[in-house]
Amino acid sequence: MSKYIHFTEEQKAQARRTDIVSLLKSQGETVKRSGSEYEWKDGSQKVTIRGNLWFHQYDRVGGDAIDFVRRFYNKSYTETMEFLLGDCGGVLIISPPVVKEKKPFELPKPYRNMDRVKNYLHYIRGIDEDIIETFANENMIYESADYHNAVFVGYDRNGVPRHAHKRGTGQTSTFKGNVDSCIPEYSFHWNGTSNKIYLFEAPIDMLSFISMHKENWKNHSYAASCSVSDRVLFQCLKDYPYIEKVYLCLDSDEPGQTAADRISTKLFALGIESEILVPIHKDWNEDLLLPNEKMKESENQCPVLQL
């Protein structure tokens, strides 16, 4: 057990402000400038850095200098603070990861109603009320009792819940995350009967896209990976072999389109037809909330309307 040391608020603020590029260079790491930011590789995955802040482009998580040392060097909070407050002196030897006992998967306890979630999804996120109601009636969306988060549930072929993604419902909330011990292959998805499936990064993007293209939407399949992974997609292709066409609907930013190209190449190698659909703004929820003439023109050409 690591020793307890009390750190003042000033010390915590000082540690957070540590320049991550300077820290990495002190450890002999290679960083590359990219515009106003820097890039560093976590294995084969890209991490973007700006001053004391970082963002992992594949895992879609980030933080400050304290979070950086704790995540990438497997240090305790006390070890991290001592290193950062010591001006990053010495070599940071990567500690072996702490093996934590895996918790069993368990859905968050539901609240007695889902009024907050419905209001958040409809009035703040602009999602169609009928679509919210459809997923709620299938027990695929509900409100948690603890923090009133929106919970998006993914089931396996036998109707057993295997995945749950939580999203804060406050107007300014940025909280999102998966429940412990989720199985990524069964993240939030809808099974239709047509030969088409649409893959998204987030449940809200998936619901936004459906809201913009409601006609016959239930006939098709949709999946939200809650990341830029393809695991739920390939599980759906395995479970529902009648699916023959994949539409990759990831975000328009670099991580989203890099992932779309990667998945498209993999599908091509397997002889599976695919097409990349790119939102006009950053993601499909922004397209829903910020409609423009280009979107109106593209609606008539969207493959979701093809039966």
Phi, psi of 210 (to 5 degrees): -60, -40
Fold of 9-85: DNA Primase; Chain A (3.90.580)
In angstroms, rounded to a whole number, what is the distance separating the alpha carbons of residues 203 and 225? 8
pLDDT digits (tens, 9 = 90+) for 190-216: 999 999 999 999 999 999 999 999 999
Distance CA 114, CA 136 (A): 9
Q: Say how far apart CA 50 and CA 146 lie, in whole Å.
A: 34
Per-position b or e across 131-149, b if 16+ CB within 10 A of its CB: bbebbbeeebbbbbeeebb
pLDDT at 301: 46
CATH 3.90.580.10 placement within the chain:
9-85
Secondary structure of the chain as H, E, C letters: CCCCCCCCHHHHHHHHCCCHHHHHHHCCCCCEEECCEEEEEECCEEEEEECCEEEECCCCEEECHHHHHHHHCCCCHHHHHHHHHCCCCCCCCCCCCCCCCCCCCCCCCECCCCHHHHHHHHHHCCCCHHHHHHHHHCCCEEEECCCCCEEEEEECCCCCEEEEEEECCCCCCCCEEECCCCCHHHCCEECCCCCEEEEECCHHHHHHHHHHCCCCHHHCEEEECCCCCCHHHHHHHHHCCCCCEEEECCCCCHHHHHHHHHHHHHHHHCCCEEEECCCCCCCHHHHHHCCCHHHHHHHCCCHHHCC
∠ at Cα 264 (224, 281), nearest 5°? 55
Q: What pLDDT does residue 100 have?
A: 61
Judged against a pLDDT cut of 90, whether residue 306 lies above it is answered with: no
Looking at the chain, the domain(s) classified CATH 3.40.1360.10 span: 115-305
Q: Which of 18-32, 96-110, 140-154 has the lowest mean pLDDT?
A: 96-110
CB atoms under 10 Å from CB of 152, counted, come to: 27
pLDDT digits over 34-79, tens only?
A: 888 999 988 778 899 999 999 887 777 788 999 999 988 888 888 8
Contacts of 99 (CB under 8 A, 6+ apart): none
| pLDDT digits 0-9 by tens, 85-139 | 886 666 677 666 656 677 899 999 999 999 999 999 999 999 999 999 999 999 9
- Predicted local confidence at residue 61, as pLDDT: 77
Query: What pLDDT does residue 95 have?
Result: 66
Tell me the two tokens of residue 96.
């072996």
What is the mean pLDDT of the segment spanning 148-152? 97
Q: What is the pLDDT of residue 307?
A: 33
- pLDDT digit string, tens, across residues 253-285: 988 998 999 999 999 999 999 999 999 999 999
Please give the CATH architecture assigned to the domain spanning 115-305: 3-Layer(aba) Sandwich (3.40)
> How far apart, in whole angstroms, are the C-alpha atoms of residue 218 and residue 177?
27
* Predicted confidence (pLDDT) at residue 247 exceeds the cutoff of 60: yes
